Structure 1
Amino acid sequence: MPTDVPKSDLPALPVTAVTATDARYPDLVRGWNQRFVCAPETVFLPTTTDEVAEAVRRAVRDDKRLSIRSGGHCWEDFVHHPDVRIVLDMSALKAVYFDPEHDAFAVEAGALLLDVYERLYRGWGVTVPGGMCFQVGAGGHVSGGGWGLLCRRLGLVVDHLYAVEVVVVDRDGTVRTVVATREDDDPARELWWAHTGGGGGNFGVVTRYWFRSPDTGTPTGREPDPAALLPRPPAEVWVSAISWQWDELGREDFVRLVANYSAWQVAHRAPGDPYSDVCSLLSLNHRSNGAIGLITQVAADDPGSLRQLEDFLAAVTAGVRAPAGPVTTRMGEHGPMPELARPRRLPWMQATRYLGTANPTTNDPTQKGAFKSSYMRRDFPARHIDALYRHLAREDGGNPTASVMLSSFGGAVAAADDDATAFPHRDAAFKLAWMIWWDDPADEAGCLTWLREFYEDVYAETGGVPVPGPDTDGAFVNYPDRDLSDPARNRSSSPWHELYYKANYPRLQRAKKRWDPRDVFRHRQSVRLPSPGGAEGHEGNRPGPHGV
């Protein structure tokens, strides 16, 4: 729906524009997942918010399909899809600094997480509890709710989000920049709320976030103290990585190990739990990998921290007869780390850098992947563990990259209500991420079949997906999965948006109507506008009128 603004009324566009004749083009039309490569007319690389607004203005004027890339780590084709004509690559907007005007730390959308942590920590000794992988961009990570190894101690990254700057498009095609804060009297507060878990690419172009923890701020008349505005991470952490060989791990041991892990997470998910400094990843790899493994991080600033780690490992391994040894094979996204077979005490920043970069998939320019996710509220039902073992122990379709990663939740995450932010899975005890990679295009069909059969078997009693209920609690929008929109794969009565957003979806739709009434910012699973009659309607599991 182009506007009536003639080309002559628009100023020259200063932003860098890359087209197919530019040597940089092949690098800029793909992200981390090599399964998705697009062919846009132009890739814009803005360096200021004004340049972002000008690029959006041209896309609206010319009715060009637009998508936004921050770090490029999206697991689906939300950015690099066949219909996109203009890609806004935010990688040049990557500054991290203290902003006295907002009394908060500004993080531009293209900043990568490791850079954010290092700048905040080395400059002021503070952090935000974001994700592990170093090259994830802040733009999409924060808007989806985030997750990281400090979540049980400090909550989610959005629990410290004070404000967001967004380039939006009004109904008449006017492009403007809005700063929305969490202040109760801010008329744009709902736009802030929508970016606390409502997913990326839904409401506008995020150019900048500001972080300041609740109940902090500089009193009037005093000099700001930035180091008092965000939490301090532990100075040191214990890090442990152990594994069990499939050849030594029988079915009974597998069942016991997985049941122990899930029971511990459920028992210790409450806010203020004494073990809130313990966070872990249990990588259940396919038998062809050779082993399954457990990575654990515990804050070391308490004299009893090592004992907490030992207690956790004892609880998880209770009754498991197979011996634990070093991690010598790939564990999901992580590579071997045999040096951590005995717990190592490391400075927090060094441990963060190590765990964030010890990842063979991060820099592999050939790998394609498919992924799924779910949340658990209770211990695994026996039928779930049976399905986990059955598919991971299958002899056919062996792929050593195939795995299910279980990760800790709860603690400070559970301190907020489901509707306090757009992120709705506050009551979850732990999270699951299904992963599989391949290089050869000929392997894609087999990999997708294995992943789909596995996932749908685990959740067979709820239509093949983790419907929010007593046991399961939906899926993670930052681990997007197109199959959730496919009625052949999602046979439940819960559409994709209920799995991602639960009861928060109608509120997100109202934010969509207010801030993106023309549906300029859309992708395969973007928030839909309410139905014309005003009801908070949806298209069920269908892709929707705008396809991808």
Structure 2
Amino acid sequence: MRKLIEKLSGTVRGTVTAAADPGYDEARAVYNAMHDRRPAAVVSCADAADVMATITAAREAGVDLAVRGGGHSVPGFGTVDDGLVIDLARMNNVHVDPGKKTARVGGGATLGDVDHATYPFGLAVPGGIISTTGIAGLSLGGGLGYLTRRAGLTIDSLVSADVVLADGRQVTASHYQNEDLFWALRGGGGNFGVVSCFEFQLHEAGGVVGGPLFYEFGDAKAVLQGYREYIAEAPEELGCFFGWQIAPPLPFIPEDRAGDLFCVLVPCWSGPHDDAGRVLKPLRDIAEVKAEYCMRMPLPALNSLFDDAVPKGMQHYWKADFIKELTDDAIAAHIAHGRHTPHVSSSMHLHPINGAAQRVGADETAFGHRDKTFSPVIAGIWDDPADSEANIKWVRDYYDAIHPHSGCDGGYINFMSDDDGHRAAANFGGNYARLAEVKAAYDPDNVFHVNQNIEPAKGGSHV
């Protein structure tokens, strides 16, 4: 391994950080502190050539390879014991073409990087609710966020991708180049290669009206039922998710209510500002709003509003589902377990999948759950490792209670934990068999297996 690291250090323009080097602990740290892994080296890639060299080195040495974009992977897929880590963080450049309304985005860029570059032009890439989320992981898994109902999933705006394959070559995938690879990248996760650069079609989105509305926990049934009905028919410029929230000590929270558990709706109206009052009124009328931080703001401000609640270094354990219908029985199960939300950073978020997201066919991209209506995620997030057992139990019990009401088997791969690998076929849905064929064509040896893994179909070969 020492010779491998020395060879890489002499080949790449980026930095190779091994266990004996200064900064190793910082280089190996990922967003979810539950994953305290010790790679042989972390390669901070400066460009696609560095990515190519690192993949080749890992393959030839027969060591595990992890790929890190923003580092937000809850299962810890951005790190690995004893293997090599490709860290794309330096490759975070974003170039906007305002005439074509497109952006070329480096594989290490975060949603915040993209927002910073696109907002001055009044443009945006749809997807995400936390600005520190890596655009690569967000996109390759599908991409849910505030603009989903209006503009579709993040992958629905993907125009092309430069991809470094398992054999070390870089190719471009698009609607007319390596079309099968392009199809698989849009929802198939990190199974097919390392995307060094994404090209997105941008959407007009400058200022929005949004932010959380807090309701009493006792009104949760009415809020969930009202949200279920309204989001099915609301104008598509309205994004909105439901969640539980222990109130933090913030200026807009009544001083005597900090620490109390509320239910929240977080709308994002990206239509004409003058229509916001009318569009948001049905949400306000569901029940009395006890506190709020809902106002006109730049979209990047809304995308970063919750960043401080989930800083790097917390403990994370999540479970995810898709549901066809939010039934009254499911609502009862949510309330029964939501009342025990254990930490101010923990929640269950219920994200809608309708509008523009459902106008793309289930087999047009690898994201195979266009027929679902919601994607719930139970996000256990806490700071003290001593509390892990209790927090993990809350997440698992919650999931076990709601899943029988889902009407399907799979969940959103970006919301999975490291013990969900056995669910891969269900999580990729009806497209799994085709994904396995593409995997066999582009990565028959499963070099990219530190992910929500797709086993290569038997009989595959290099393209």
TM-score, reference length from structure 2: 0.88
- Determine if the alignment matches structure 1 residue 477 to structure 2 residue 413: yes
Alignment partner, residue 376 of structure 1: 323
- SS class of match (2:210): strand
Write out aligned runs for 1:409-488 (5 A): 409-460=353-404, 466=406, 468=408, 474-485=410-421
Q: How does 1:166-315 map to 2 (within 5 A)?
A: 166-170=163-167, 175-183=168-176, 186=177, 188-200=178-190, 202-212=191-201, 230-233=202-205, 235-246=206-217, 249=218, 253-265=219-231, 267-268=232-233, 275-285=235-245, 289-301=260-272, 303-314=274-285
Q: Which amino acid aligns with 1:503?
A: G
Deviations 1:131-169 (A, max 9, x none): 121111122111111112111111112111111111112
CA-to-partner distance for each residue in 1:446-483, whole Å, 9 max, x for gaps? 1111211111122246xxxx452xxxx73111112334
Judged with a 3 Å threshold, the aligned counterparts in structure 2 of structure 1 residues 364 and 79 are, in CA distance, closer, same or farther, namely closer
Q: Does 1:28 align with 2:27?
A: yes
- Output the CA distance in 2 between the equivalents of 1:533 and 1:145: 25
User: How many Å separate the matches in 1 of 2:30 and 2:460?
Assistant: 38
Q: Distance in 1 between matches of 2:399 and 2:160?
A: 37
Q: Provide Cα deviations, 1:248-279, integer angstroms capped at 9, x if missing partner.
A: x2xxx3322222222323x32xxxxx611111
Contact 1:289 1:400 in 2 (8 A): no
Q: Report if aligned partners of 2:130, 2:305 keep a CA contact under 8 Å in 1.
A: yes
Q: CA shift at 1:11, angstroms?
A: 7.4
CA deviation vs aligned residue, 1:515-546 (integer Å, no higher than 9, x gap)? 11111111253111114599xxxxxxxxxxxx
Shift of 1:513: 0.5
Q: Is 1:344 aligned with 2:295?
A: yes
Q: Which residue of 2 aligns with 1:91?
A: 89
Structure 1: how far apart are the matches of 2:392 and 2:362? 32
Q: Secondary structure at the match of 1:304?
A: helix
Q: 1:28 to 1:445 in 2, by over 3 A?
A: same
SS of match in other structure, 1:478 = helix
- Aligned partners of 2:284, 2:8: CA distance in 1, in Å? 66
User: How much has 1:409 moved relative to structure 2?
Assistant: 2.6
- Alpha-carbon distance, 1:22 to partner: 2.3
Equivalence for 1:363: 311
In the alignment, what sits opposite 2:114? 116
Q: Does the 8 A contact of 2:236 with 2:356 survive in 1?
A: yes
Whichever residue aligns with residue 146 of structure 1, its letter is: G
Separation in 1 of the partners of 2:42 and 2:278? 52
Question: Does residue 390 in structure 1 map to residue 390 in structure 2?
Answer: no
Distance 1:448 1:290 in 2: 19
TM-score w.r.t. the length of structure 1 is 0.75
Per-residue CA deviation, residues 56-93 of structure 1 (Å, 9 max, x unaligned), is 111112112111001001111222243x5100100111
* Aligned equivalent of 2:444, options 510, 517, 536: 517
Mean alpha-carbon deviation: is it higher for 290-299 or for 353-362?
353-362
Specify the SS of the correspondent of 1:307. helix
- Residues 278, 298 of structure 1: 8 Å contact kept: yes
Does residue 151 of the first structure (1) align with residue 141 of the second (2)? no
1:307-331 Cα deviation digits (max 9, x unpaired): 11113433xx1xx4xx32115xxxx
**RMSD value over aligned CA atoms?**
2.8
Q: Greater CA radius of gyration, 1 or 2?
A: 1
Q: How many residues are aligned here?
A: 446
Residues 326-366 of structure 1 deviation map (CA, whole Å, 9 limit, x = unaligned): 15xxxxxxxxxxxx2xx4223xxx3422441433343253x
Aligned-partner Cα distance in 2 for 1:438–1:497: 26
Say if 2:35 is the partner of 1:45: no
Q: Which moved more, 1:29-38 or 1:437-446?
A: 437-446
Counterpart secondary structure, 1:459: helix
Q: Which residue number in structure 1 is paired with residue 251 of structure 2? A: none
**1:285–1:164 CA distance, 2 compared to 1 (3 A):** same
Residue equivalent to 1:545: none
1:130 equivalent in alignment to 2:136: no
CA distance in 2, matches of 1:402, 1:160: 30
Alpha carbons of structure 1 residues 313 and 441: separation in structure 2 relative to 1, 3 Å? same
Match for residue 407 of structure 1 among 351, 374, 377: 351
User: 1:485, CA displacement in angstroms?
Assistant: 4.0
Distance 1:276 1:484, change over 3 A: same
Q: 1:81 to 1:52 in 2, by over 3 A?
A: closer
- Once the two structures are TM-superposed, the CA of residue 285 in structure 1 deviates from its matched residue by 4.2
Query: 1:300 deviation in Å?
Result: 4.1
Distance 2:362 2:108 in 1: 28
1:370/1:257 CA distance change after superposition, 3 Å: same
Please identify which structure carries the higher helix content.
2
CA deviation after TM superposition for structure 1 residue 113, in Å: 0.9
- Corresponding residue for residue 326 of structure 1: 291
Q: Is the 8 A contact 1:300 1:345 kept in 2?
A: no
Matched residues, percent identical?
Answer: 25
> Aligned partners of 1:441 and 1:432: how far apart in 2?
25
